[in-house]
């Protein structure tokens, strides 16, 4: 009844299977987005407004799409972004993603709200495997400091501070399924209100007073590169450079926070010309996430100036439907697509991708 893994030919196929086989509460939590889910859909449709301008007659017999992100090498310019509550989809939770990421030499971002304990996820990594920490900042800064410094001691290579969630968005699909904390052992011991869905149940510790004034403190407690995750306008990218952080993730949190937030690629196209004009383009690494489902999406983002892209739901769906083998196949499919995409666009390496290879004029005019 359920399609064989070999019958999944792209990342969207995993979503279709997951929708059928996942528990209702898990599907609702993973797939839901804020309010009318306009931004969720826009994350896909923005990519549909970017077209390629391939170069011809380039010798593309050999293509190499390996790169570095925050100074560490990886096989392909995407990473597994942080998504909470991995055990809703798979009994073993986030460690499944860790093992698949290792097989493919892909970087994994560990969520604060993982179902597995942080140490369990680090222990599941192979020697030398690169992991980053996603941080929700606790109202109790002593807790936050402990989490950050513990992650650094355990070898995490980047600190991604989520800045788009002073309050968790309203995800009505999630609220309707009456989440009951099953599969969630995060923040245990805290009293949670489960009547508002999974997201809200687990997020009451997040500090809505977090501000730019806190950034120097983060720089003082860790040597990890700091990246602000959830930046949505060029002015804030410039401010992030001034604040001395190493990167930003242009992101609307997979459409789960502010509905009618713009897509990350649109913000990217707004950002890069300004950074170039100010001579800041080499001062910060720009990542994007939201709606990346094809290697052509990755190529578009990189042509427009991104260092790398984050991918969330597709790996959750692959994991929920097929476990580690599913996640590995999803990653392999992206690599296969990437090799072909590089050849067809006429680029032999990531360094050869540039803005002349895309036509993004209709990105803003729609
Ligand atoms: C997320 N995301 C997220 N982000 C974050 O900073 N902390 C978190 O705990 C979570 N949790 C989370 C759970 C689920 C189920 C989803 C789908 C997403 C947002 C995530 O890191 C990323 O921004 C989006 O998932 C990217 O969009 P796609 O790839 O899912 O379309």
DSSP string, 126-158: PTT--EEEEEPPBSSHHHHHHHHHHHHHTT---
ipTM for the whole predicted complex goes beyond 0.95: yes
Cβ 171 under 6 angstroms from ligand 1: no
Q: How many CA atoms lie within 13 A of 337 on its CB side?
A: 19
Q: Which residues of 143-159 are buried (b: 16+ CB within 10 A; e: fewer)?
A: ebbebbeebbebebbbb
Give the other-Cβ count within 10 Å of 164's Cβ. Answer: 18
Which ligand 1 atom is at minimum distance from the Cα of 113? 9
* 136 assigned to active site: yes
Active site residue 9: no
Q: Which one-letter DSSP state was computed for residue 160?
A: E
Give the bridge partners for 177, in sequence order: none
**CA–centroid distance, residue 56 to ligand 1 (Å):** 37
Q: Is the CB of 124 under 6 A from ligand 1?
A: no
* Other C-beta atoms lying within 10 Å of the C-beta of residue 194: 14
Q: DSSP characters for 191-259?
A: ---GGG-HHHHT-TTB-TT--GGGHHHHHHH--S-EEEEEE-SHHHHHHHHHTT-SEEEE--GGGTSST
What secondary structure does DSSP assign to 183-205, as a single string?
T--TTTTS---GGG-HHHHT-TT
- 53 contacts 358 by C-beta, under 8 angstroms: yes
Q: Label residues 225-260 b or e (16+ Cβ within 10 Å = b).
A: bbbbbbbbebebbbbbbebebbbbbbbbbbbbbbbe
Q: Choose the catalytic residue: 90, 102, 104, 253.
A: 253
Residue 29 falls in the annotated catalytic set:
no
Tens digit of pLDDT at every position of the chain (366 positions): 789 999 999 999 999 999 999 999 999 999 999 999 999 999 999 999 999 999 999 999 999 999 999 999 999 999 999 999 999 999 999 999 999 999 999 999 999 999 999 999 999 999 999 999 999 999 999 999 999 999 999 999 999 999 999 988 888 888 888 665 444 545 434 444 555 666 667 788 999 999 999 999 999 999 999 999 999 999 999 999 999 999 999 999 999 999 999 999 999 999 999 999 999 999 999 999 999 999 999 999 999 999 999 999 999 999 999 999 999 999 999 999 999 999 999 999 999 999 999 999 999 988
The verdict on the CB of residue 30 being under 6 Å from ligand 1 is yes
Is any ligand 1 atom within 6 A of the Cβ of residue 290? yes
């Amino acid at each position: 009844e359920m399609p064989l893994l070999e019958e999944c030919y792209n990342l969207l196929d995993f979503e279709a299977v997951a929708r059928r086989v996942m528990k209702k509460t898990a599907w609702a939590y993973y797939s839901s987005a804020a309010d009318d889910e306009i931004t969720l859909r826009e994350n896909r449709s923005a990519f549909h407004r970017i077209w390629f301008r391939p170069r011809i007659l380039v010798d593309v017999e050999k293509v190499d799409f390996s790169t570095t992100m925050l100074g560490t090498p990886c096989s392909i310019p995407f990473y597994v972004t942080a998504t909470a509550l991995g055990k809703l989809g798979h009994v073993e939770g986030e460690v499944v993603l860790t093992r698949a990421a290792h097989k493919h030499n892909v970087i994994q971002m560990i969520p604060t709200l993982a179902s597995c304990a942080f140490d369990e996820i680090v222990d599941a990594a192979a020697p030398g495997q690169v992991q980053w920490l996603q941080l929700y900042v606790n109202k109790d800064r002593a807790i936050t400091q402990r989490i950050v410094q513990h992650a650094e001691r355990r070898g995490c290579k980047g600190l991604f501070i989520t800045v788009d969630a002073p309050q968790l968005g309203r995800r009505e699909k999630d609220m309707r399924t009456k989440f009951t904390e099953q599969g969630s052992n995060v923040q245990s011991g805290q009293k949670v209100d489960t009547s508002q869905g999974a997201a809200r149940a687990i997020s009451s510790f997040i500090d809505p007073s977090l501000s730019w004034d806190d950034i120097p403190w983060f720089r003082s407690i860790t040597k990890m590169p700091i990246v602000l995750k959830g930046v949505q306008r060029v002015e804030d990218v410039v401010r992030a450079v001034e604040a001395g952080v190493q990167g930003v993730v242009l992101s609307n949190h997979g459409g789960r926070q502010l509905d009618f937030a713009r897509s990350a690629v649109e913000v990217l196209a707004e950002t890069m010309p300004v950074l170039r004009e100010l001579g800041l383009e080499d001062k910060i690494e720009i990542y994007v996430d939201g709606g990346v489902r094809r290697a052509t999406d990755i190529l578009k983002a990189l042509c427009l100036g991104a260092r790398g892209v984050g991918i969330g739901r597709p790996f959750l769906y692959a994991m929920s439907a097929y476990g580690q083998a599913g996640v590995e196949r999803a990653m392999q499919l992206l690599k296969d697509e990437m090799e072909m995409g590089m050849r067809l666009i006429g680029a032999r390496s990531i360094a050869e991708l540039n803005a002349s290879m895309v036509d993004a004029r209709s990105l803003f005019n729609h």
